[in-house]
Structure 1
């Protein structure tokens, strides 16, 4: 594998100094139009790409970068990232992304954003303890999306999870279902609120709650399908990914959806809208969440952290009847 071309390589090929190459790529005065053209041509020929992080680290000017940490395993996080881009651009900012994966912890993702000198951080569904978020906010403006958290100095933007869970159960009740199960989200952000609202709504209707262990992934939905009591006729899943895993597994086992079992998810993630899925779901509005988060991330008031709560929407599709 060939080594990555350096600024020194460009300077040598173009017959100029390294300092002059730096001037050209930083777009500051000090080089003629002819020299700029030659340097860029050589750079393109060599495949040179400037190290913007090094430039930012050496600058005392504002970066106008907003760092975003998200988990690649969850489709709705991707939807939020997509919505954050236009929201940032409308305010004159750019985004720097850092992913949480199965092998990369949240702390590493956040540290990477700090290394880029981001002016503020947006953390999507973080799992770090409140104390860690408080410590982070002491040095960096911090906004949390999609998690109910009380942490000093931290702005919060989230959907009303309790209201969304009630919407799901009340909708299934309106369809005539009385044996309604909830596939839990374990310790995920929002899981406790959704689980509690489900239980309260069922009990208010005089019905027995059925909570099944679950999680945030399709695999969790698959495992939940094997635990589903045979008399259950409807399921409110923690999120869309879990609901889709449940859907595929039930159909593979011979149970019809929605004729035998109705399923409703939560998020309105991109996969839920696919033609072969058409999952009924509770929608979190990614555009509203992103816009509110970016407004808080770019505000100057760090002394009065705010909590913005958006309302969820019921989206009936083809998996409920």
Structure 2
């Protein structure tokens, strides 16, 4: 006789189930309250149109209740508006109370990410320094030199991830203050110049197409950080000997920065989801398709920054001919 295995349910699943039952119960109570109001309103209206003596007659008279069509329509309209307002208020109260724990969880999560990132930065920096010392002591023909170089590269990747996590937590939790008017073109050009040094290893050329001036109320360092993240994603998937274009379009109310590469495009995931933290698409197929599979936290940080300053970011298009991502921020009048 085989024993039936009892599934183990984790605490998060139990918490979600409890929250679902709580929200469901509150909505059911709210709906019951609305129905009760309807029933009571109907009874009150009927009793207002008939006298108590007629109500308790031994032989009911079918002509006791006389309601005109105009009165009935007027009462139905008033009752309908009142019920709509009541349902809206109840829904708002229930939803607000249901979402409040989620906000608390997000704040706790950001605090944890920030604390963990701070704790990891120092050990990783020490690890990278020791690997650098080890790398310097090895001769060029040492068989371990390539392995140590790869270890240093992995350590740098971890340091970048931790820095992105820390910056994401700080951006999400920081308050927005009024910023001075800055030239977006200069900040974008700084990002292009920085990433051009990395793109040269893949023989990728980064081209900037921008007007003379585009004023925004976003810190220049934040603009550069966002464009660097977009270019880092583009360079990572750009084919050798290809070009990446960065174009800036200015309208009366907005300034849009579009980064377009010639990579294989996004597959196996909804393009809108690539701005989630550590979003992953389907793995490359066996035919050698090098489609994007991992997007790290860089694009998530871009979204948090631009949304924080009243902007947005989205995938314009993604095909086999390449991918274009556009970030838009409000335009400011020149100072």
- Same fold at TM > 0.5: no
| Structure showing greater relative contact order (alpha-carbon pairs closer than 8 Å, 6 or more residues apart) | 1
Higher strand share: 1
User: Normalised by the size of structure 1, how large is the TM-score?
Assistant: 0.24
User: Normalised by the size of structure 2, how large is the TM-score?
Assistant: 0.24
Task: Look at both structures and tell me which one has the larger radius of gyration over its CA atoms.
Answer: 2
Higher helix share: 2
